[in-house]
Amino acid sequence: MKKVLAWALGSTLLFACSNPKSADEKAASTGDTTAAAPTKPQPIEFADAKYTEIGKKHLADMTSGDIDSWMTGFADNAVYVWNNFDSLGGKAAISAYWKKRRKDVIDSISFSNEIWLPLKVNQPQATEQTGIWLLSWYVVRSKYKTGKSVAEGIHTDFHFDANDKIDRVVQYLDRAPINAATKKKG
C-alpha cells in the first residue's frame, strides 16, 4: 500500500515538476503584458475537489449499508472491475451484487486513513480513459457474518462520465484474507 501511494504521489509530483511554465505563467512572472497564445493542457492535472466529496459520500453509504443511496452515484452503464479481472457490468448487476454482499456476507464495514486524489486526464499515458478520475487509498475494516474480521489497505480508482456519475471502478485488494474470513466452517 505504501509503495503504491509513494509511486502515485511521486508520479504526480514528477508530472507537475517536469512541466515547464506556460507562456501565461512566464508573462505574469516577468510583468510582460502582451497577450500569450493559448497553452496546451497538461497531460494530467488536478480535478475539482467535489469529486473527493463524492468519494467520501460513496464510502459513507457503503458503511451505513444504504446500497440504494450508494448506487445513485453510478451511471447505468457502469463497470466494476477488481484487480483479479473479475468484473460486473451495468448498474443493475453492481447493485444486486453489493446488496447481497451487504445482506448475506458483510456484517459491518468501515473506512479510515483515507487519501483522495481527483485528477483530470487530458492525454492518456497508457490505457486509462481521458476525463475525471478519483484515486483513493484507505484502510477497510470488515466484519463478516462468519464472525471473522479483516483489515486491509485498498486502492480504488473511480472514473466519472460527463454527468459526474461513476462509470468505471477499478479496485485493488487482496482477496486471500477476505476469502479466508468468509469461508464457512465445514
**pLDDT at residue number 31:** 60
Question: What is the tens place of the pLDDT at every residue in 70-110?
Answer: 999 999 999 999 998 899 999 999 999 999 999 999 999 99
Question: What is the tens place of the pLDDT at every residue in 34-84?
Answer: 666 678 889 999 999 999 999 999 999 999 999 999 999 999 999 999 998
The number of beta carbons lying within 10 Å of the beta carbon of residue 28 is 13
Distance in angstroms (rounded) separating the CA atoms of residues 151 and 16: 33
Q: How far apart are the first and last CA of the chain?
A: 33
pLDDT band at 184 (very low <50, low <70, confident <90, very high): confident
**pLDDT at residue number 59:** 97
Question: What is the tens place of the pLDDT at every residue in 141-181?
Answer: 999 999 999 999 999 999 999 999 999 999 999 999 999 99
How many helices, marked H, and strands, marked E, lie in the chain?
A: 6, 7
Mention every residue, 6+ apart, whose C-beta is less than 8 A from residue 143.
106, 107, 108, 109, 149
Distance in angstroms (rounded) separating the CA atoms of residues 98 and 106: 10
DSSP state of 108: E
**pLDDT at residue number 40:** 83
CATH number belonging to domain 43-182 = 3.10.450.50
Give me the residue spans of the domains in the chain: 1-40, 43-182
The count of C-alpha atoms lying within 13 angstroms of the C-alpha of 75, restricted to the half-sphere facing its C-beta, is 17
Strands annotated E in 59-185:
74-82, 87-89, 106-121, 131-144, 149-160, 166-172
147 close to 185: Cβ distance less than 8 angstroms: no
Question: What is the tens place of the pLDDT at every residue in 127-151?
Answer: 779 999 999 999 999 999 999 999 9
